[in-house]
Amino acid sequence: MLRRFREWRRKRLIERYSFADQDWTAALAPYRFFDRLSADENRRLRELVSLFCAEKEFAPGNDFTITLATQLQIAAQACLPILNLDLTFYSGWTGIVVYEGEVWVRREEMDEDGVMHVYNDIISGEAMPGGPVVLSWDDVTQAGSAASPSYNVVIHEFAHKIDMLKGDATGVPPFSPAYHAALNGREFEATLHQCFDAFAAQVDQWERRGQAEADAPLIDPYAAEHPSEFFAVLSEAFFTRPQDLRDTFPDMYRLLAAYYLQEPLRPGD
Ligand SMILES: [Zn+2]
């Protein structure tokens, strides 16, 4: 009975938050990584986007105007990582605040001597445990550009959201018995830390050599900031530049495939 009710409610929400074919096609068009989806995956992603829009609240930052295109482009990218999981991975919060350009945030930090430092920080996006996801629309649209093929602020922030389901972001996302019975959580954690340490050392050496563009790591050096950033940046790469991720960290590619239950690289790639 409950299952039938849930199914009925799900169908109603999908109908209520449905959108035209051309709007859906236009939302996916700037992002080449959607091309690999099969017709069935595309249809399921579209349904998930309707459910996502029913559940979440988009709000403008400053005087930005949120259109259907804004919502669909963000929702489609946000839902890609959970295409074979479900919306409970984004539970416990509802807001998505979208600014037109750079987002200025006020930070307060206490140093070791107990002195409070207040400063302004410019960010492209942010996710806080239990709070909203904040995004800069300029940065969202850059994700599709040729200049930054592996940069994806939406997937980055939503990977943090998955990580934060269990509290503060650590880089080790929660494992669900329904989806991750075959995944060894300890192996995931150990491999993530091992690869993170190796990458941090690599970035450190690259910085000492003067950060030459020609020998820059394939993975965004920002991943070396913290294991949680490593998980978020590797998740971006997994969906947008899977080849680069597999070439750099084959074990992390395999573990993320087991986590997200997706295989962005086809056999022979
Ligand atoms: Zn981050």
pLDDT at site 74: 97
pLDDT grade for 143, boundaries at 50, 70 and 90: confident
177 alpha carbon to ligand 1 midpoint, in Å?
26
pLDDT above 80: residue 68? yes
228 alpha carbon to ligand 1 midpoint, in Å?
7
Same-domain pairing of 155 and 239: no
Domain total of the chain: 2
Q: Which has the minimum average pLDDT: 6-20, 127-141, 150-164, 202-216?
A: 202-216
Same-domain pairing of 151 and 218: no
- 28: domain CATH number is 1.10.472.150
Structural domain of 102: 1-169
Residue 256 to residues 192, 213, 252, Cα–Cα distance (Å): 10, 27, 6
- What is the model's pTM? 0.92
- 246: domain CATH number is 3.40.390.10
246 alpha carbon to ligand 1 midpoint, in Å?
21
33 alpha carbon to ligand 1 midpoint, in Å?
21
Same-domain pairing of 240 and 115: no
Same-domain pairing of 193 and 261: yes
What DSSP assignment string belongs to 127-177?
E-TTS-EEEEHHHHHHTTSTT-TT--HHHHHHHHHHHGGGSS--S-PPPPT
User: Of all residues in the chain, what percent carry a pLDDT higher than 90?
Assistant: 75
pLDDT at site 144: 64
Boundary (domain end) residue, out of 117, 146, 169: 169
161 alpha carbon to ligand 1 midpoint, in Å?
10
9 alpha carbon to ligand 1 midpoint, in Å?
34
Same-domain pairing of 153 and 176: no
158 alpha carbon to ligand 1 midpoint, in Å?
9
Residue of 9 and 266 predicted with greater confidence: 9
Boundary (domain end) residue, out of 141, 169, 197: 169
10 alpha carbon to ligand 1 midpoint, in Å?
32
pLDDT at site 149: 66
Average pLDDT over residues 127-152: 84
150 alpha carbon to ligand 1 midpoint, in Å?
14
**How high does pLDDT run on average in the chain?**
93
Alpha-helix residue ranges (DSSP H) falling in the chain = 2-16, 21-28, 39-55, 68-79, 137-142, 153-163, 185-208, 227-240, 242-248, 250-260
